[in-house]
Amino acid sequence: MSQVRKEPAYISGQQRNAPTNAEMVFELIRPAPLTEQKRSRDGCIYLYRAMKFIGWLPPKQGVLRYVYLTWTLMTFVWCTTYLPLGFLGSYMTQIKSFSPGEFLTSLQVCINAYGSSVKVAITYSMLWRLIKAKNILDQLDLRCTAMEEREKIHLVVARSNHAFLIFTFVYCGYAGSTYLSSVLSGRPPWQLYNPFIDWHDGTLKLWVASTLEYMVMSGAVLQDQLSDTYPLIYTLILRAHLDMLRERIRRLRSDENLSEAESYEELVKCVMDHKLILRYCAIIKPVISGTIFTQFLLIGLVLGLTLINVFFFSDIWTGIASFMFVITILLQTFPFCYTCNLIMEDCESLTHAIFQSNWVDASRRYKTTLLYFLQNVQQPIVFIAGGIFQISMSSNISVSGRQNNSCSLNCISFSTPSIGGKVCLLRDNHYQANEYSRQI
């Protein structure tokens, strides 16, 4: 009698648990098991994939390098150069056709586009610093041998990639919502200068012109996202290594099996770890300084214009798009500024850990080195925007609030000859209009 051959149960289990394509794409947002070897630089995987897609990381050699550089040139021409100039061109040629709401919707993005081009230029010109910083992370990872330290590495890798994914959804949500709400309302989303296609000539040309604008804006949004997310990702990884260094300091001279000389060597290794962390910060500080300073200059003015547009001129669909735009503007500075505050607290915790470690009955050489270490750790890691003011939550709120209250001018006026009117917005500290006049 023939017997039916049965497949092992574990085969069907593996087939059921086989990851789908979506799970493989988003696998980096979940902490990897400790059986896998993850490095700190893996927290930048999504970031550098986007850089490669937008044309920032060309191959080192071969014919493909020149083909890739052509793509790089195209993205910079269209997304970094044409976009801000396209706004200016539309103001010079089509200002008569703008309604007040359309003008404010365009102006708020125009100002941010000029700032984005500056941030992109700074980030791209100093990209070598970000790449070099990853090499220092590799040196810091050599000390992460304990299971709890590897677990922290896996957690920060997942957290960093997850943060980039959240930024991607928000930024793409803004571009998509503006595109759809504007086209369905019968006008291009940003009304960039386009001498070849007149969107007034019919629905088809409206969709073609709007789609071209959306493609250009999507590239610019991705470039802006790269300039806004790298400070957060690199500082999240920095915090993880500060946390692991603090735990190593707390364990100093706690193992009775180690001799005094071996305990001293552990202290020296902690000192060297701190020096590597300071080198890491010194490399990324110039890049962060320029991009955050540029954003600080614009955030208050852009938020002010957006709120005026939302309160007085927007309909439901424009309001949704403006709401998404406000979220993107806030994401450009607030998460990173909050992380800077946490880094300063981490440095203070390092000082407490050194002072509270087991050093009372240590040798003279150990105490001398510990004192030197304590003096260096007492200087917190601070990031400076433009070499002028410290990056923190207080400075962020102060800068954005001050510009938001003044909004550059107390009166925003613009003429719309096509409707024969002049709109004047007089605002107080809460952006309330005191006069709305139309002369015919």
Contacts of 196 (CB under 8 A, 6+ apart): none
271 is a domain residue: yes
140 is a domain residue: yes
- What integer is the mean pLDDT of 94-113? 87
Does the pLDDT at position 402 exceed 50? Answer: yes
Q: How many domains does the chain have?
A: 1
89 is a domain residue: yes
Burial of 201 (0-12, 13-18, 19+ CB in 10 A): exposed
Taking the C-alpha atoms of residue 110 and residue 306, their distance in angstroms, rounded to an integer, is: 12
16 is a domain residue: no
137 is a domain residue: yes
pLDDT of residue 418: 39
Does the pLDDT at position 87 exceed 70? Answer: yes
What confidence tier does 383 reach under pLDDT thresholds 50, 70, 90? very high
Does the pLDDT at position 125 exceed 90? Answer: yes
Does the pLDDT at position 9 exceed 70? Answer: no
Taking the C-alpha atoms of residue 170 and residue 168, their distance in angstroms, rounded to an integer, is: 6
Does the pLDDT at position 165 exceed 80? Answer: yes
What confidence tier does 320 reach under pLDDT thresholds 50, 70, 90? confident
Mean pLDDT is lowest, of 82-96, 318-332, 390-404, 411-425, for 411-425
Residue 278's alpha-carbon distances to 114, 140, 274, 291, 424, in angstroms, are: 33, 11, 6, 20, 52
What is the residue range of 242's domain?
A: 45-408
Does the pLDDT at position 287 exceed 90? Answer: yes
Q: What tokens does 4 get?
A: 């039916």
Identify the CA nearest to 293 among candidates 226, 391, 224.
391
Does the pLDDT at position 97 exceed 90? Answer: no
Secondary element (H or E) of residue 117: helix 100-125
pLDDT tens digits, residue range 335-355?
999 999 999 999 999 999 999
